[in-house]
Amino acid sequence: MSTAPARRKTMAGGHSGPRHVAIIMDGNGRWAKRRFLPRIMGHRKGVEAVRRVVEAAPDLGIEVLTLYAFSSENWKRPADEVSDLMGLLHEYLRKEIAELHAKGVRLSVIGDYQRLSRDLVSLIEHGMEMTRGNARLNLVLALNYGAQDEIVRATRAIAAAARAGRIDPDKIEAADVDSFLDTRDLPPPDLIVRTSGEVRLSNFMLWQAAYAELLFVDTLWPDFDADALAAAVESFAGRDRRYGAL
């Protein structure tokens, strides 16, 4: 994974927009329940929302768009729902990879995706290879991702490097930890958005969120669109980011 070329969108008032936006896509089930529909219909509508934000992101100056697609905790859901989600992911990748490539979108993945089914892993790796040279947008899917799991995996790798003499434990700094995370080739998220009115990160990018701006919106994910993304970017532009300084 690598970042797209530096490119900034100037918002109203001269503020610079976010380079990296990460979204916790929440509310598919509630969207379906309110309409007396099966949960799978909410997830299908959620895929339509993914298409909308991927299309809109580059025009808002977003270089990296990370979507929390399937968490390491989602395996605890009923087996039939997990099966539906895996089927939707397979369908999305099979149908969209060529379209993403045609639009200059690079596909990247964070998370322990190798533990997904063999056919999904093959599709994912095919998509990443096909689109690796694209620079209009880096679409990052968080698959079988959990921030605590990511940090544990990074800690094990750091410990192994220290045992092998490649790292001096007394000299480990934050940048060293960064280099072992799934996001090591990405800029840190400037803005993390969660839909559906829930106000928590749910084990998403806990290390990377250190200085990210957080935005929690009531909109259910299937209803999220280009206007909602633009509003989130505009909200970010009004924030005063001091990184601990005055």
Full set of structural domains in the chain with CATH = 18-220+229-235 (3.40.1180.10)
246 pLDDT band (50/70/90 cuts)? low
Confidence of residue 234 (pLDDT cuts 50, 70, 90): very high
Interval 4-35: pLDDT, tens: 333 344 444 444 899 999 999 999 999 999 99
Cα distance between residue 22 and residue 130, in whole Å? 23
In the Cβ-directed half-sphere of 150, how many Cα atoms lie within 13 Å?
27
Q: Binding residue per annotation — 99? A: no
Q: Is 213 labelled a binding residue?
A: yes
Whether the CB-CB separation of 66 and 21 falls below 8 Å is answered with yes
Is 30 annotated as contributing to ligand binding? yes
How far apart are alpha carbons 196 and 25 in whole angstroms? 8
Task: Kindly provide the residue ranges of all beta strands, DSSP E only, lying in the chain, ordered along the sequence.
Answer: 20-24, 64-71, 105-110, 137-145, 191-194, 213-216
pLDDT of residue 245: 67
CB 190 within 8 A of CB 64: no
For residue 60, give the DSSP letter.
G
- φ, ψ for residue 23 (rounded to 5)? -125, 130
**Prediction pTM value:** 0.91
Residue 2 is assigned to a ligand binding site: no
DSSP 8-state secondary structure symbol assigned to residue 8: -
Q: What is the CA radius of gyration of the chain?
A: 18
The answer to whether 153 is annotated as binding is no
Catalytic machinery residues: 26, 74
pLDDT in tens, 109-138: 999 999 999 999 999 999 999 999 999 999
Mean of the pLDDT values across residues 32-52?
Answer: 97
Determine if residue 44 is labeled as part of a ligand binding site.
no
Share the mean pLDDT of the chain. 93
Identify which has the larger pLDDT, 242 or 56. Answer: 56
Is 129 labelled as part of a ligand binding site? no
- pLDDT, tens digit, for every residue of 83-99? 999 999 999 999 999 99
Q: CA 203, CA 194: separation in Å to the nearest integer? A: 12
